[in-house]
């Protein structure tokens, strides 16, 4: 039996994730772990090196529900349960920050986002559920935020770090860099990872190559969470690993 999990916060072993269809070696390793990759295909309206990124094309904001941009051509490959897709009425731009409409973090009782450029429907949903909005200046919010649990994150963005601390969210500030993103000087810590169970945060490459590896692992241990490396390659920003379906009791 399977069930949809909370956004970014699975409680059991994950069976399906939404992920870029571009990185076949990561998909293969996920499949070796028994995890189905619900692949995202390229969107022409996004900057070239972001065109496959799941966290740019869709927002998994509620159990079983995904928001897509109205001008998106993305189709999510079939998962073991039918994911309900909806289209936002807001129009996504082709350049930053107008391309970050769906790049935000829903985690427990918090929505971390750049409010001005965030999908209206997701903001309204969070307001209706009394989910607190944490407004930051970084439009690439999901890319920049590794979710540890409902009250803890890892980021290299000082604005996100300070806003989280101010709102009672524990945060680890790490150095920028050591995450590859083709076409850019560097990628983001949130874009190279995602939870695949309550106690495992999976990374796309060698966390041991990150200059703050020891601090990251120590922070994770504070919350009884372990890291898993999905490849022997450098950490790569693939647009996040978004858990959507988990085993049910």
DSSP output for the chain? -EEEPBTTB-SS-EEEEEEESS-HHHHHHHHHTT-EEEEE---TTS-GGGTT-HHHHEEEEETTEEEEETT----PPP-SSPPEEEEESSPPPSSTTTT-TT--EEETTEEEE-GGGS-HHHHHHHHHTTPEEEE-S-S-TTTTEEEEETTEEEES-HHHHHHHHHTT-EEEE--S-SSB-TTSS---SGGGEEEEETTEEEESS-GGGSTTHHHHHHHHHHTT-EEEES-SSPPB--S--EEEEEE--
Walk along the chain (249 residues) in steps of 10 and give the mean pLDDT of each run: 97 96 97 95 89 94 91 72 89 91 97 97 96 98 98 98 98 97 96 98 98 98 98 98 94
pLDDT value, residue 73:
61
Instruction: Provide the pLDDT for residue 222.
Output: 98
- Structure confidence at residue 45 (pLDDT): 84
pLDDT at 6: 97
Q: Which residues contact 202 (CB under 8 A, 6 or more apart)?
A: 30, 193, 194, 195, 196, 227, 228, 229, 230, 241
Whether the Cβ atoms of residue 147 and residue 195 lie closer than 8 Å to each other: yes
What pLDDT is stored for residue 240 in this prediction?
Answer: 98
pLDDT of residue 93: 85
Q: Output the pLDDT for position 70.
A: 74
- At residue 118, the pLDDT reads 97
- pLDDT value of position 71: 65
The per-residue pLDDT for 33 is 98
pTM beyond 0.95 = yes
């Amino acid at each position: 039996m399977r069930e949809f999990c909370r956004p970014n916060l699975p409680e059991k072993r994950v069976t399906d994730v939404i992920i870029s269809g571009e990185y076949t070696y990561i998909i293969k390793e996920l499949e070796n772990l028994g995890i189905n990759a619900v692949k995202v295909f390229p969107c022409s309206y996004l900057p070239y090196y972001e065109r496959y990124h799941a966290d740019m094309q869709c927002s998994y904001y509620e159990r079983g529900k995904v928001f897509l941009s109205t001008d998106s051509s993305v189709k999510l490959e079939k998962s073991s349960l039918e994911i309900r897709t909806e289209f936002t009425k807001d129009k996504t731009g082709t350049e930053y920050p107008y391309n970050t409409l769906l790049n935000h973090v829903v985690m427990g009782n918090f929505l971390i986002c750049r409010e001005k450029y965030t999908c209206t429907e997701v903001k309204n949903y969070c307001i209706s559920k009394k989910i607190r909005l944490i407004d930051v200046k970084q439009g690439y919010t999901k890319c920049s935020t590794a979710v540890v649990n409902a009250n803890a994150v890892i980021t290299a963005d000082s604005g996100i770090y300070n806003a989280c601390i101010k709102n009672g969210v524990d945060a680890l500030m790490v150095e920028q860099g050591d995450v590859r993103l083709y076409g850019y000087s560097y990628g983001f810590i949130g874009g190279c990872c995602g939870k695949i169970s309550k106690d495992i945060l999976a990374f796309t490459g060698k966390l041991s190559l990150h200059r703050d590896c020891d601090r990251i692992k120590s922070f994770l241990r504070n919350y009884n969470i372990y890291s898993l490396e999905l490849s022997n390659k450098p950490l790569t920003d693939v647009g996040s690993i978004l858990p959507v379906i988990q085993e049910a009791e």
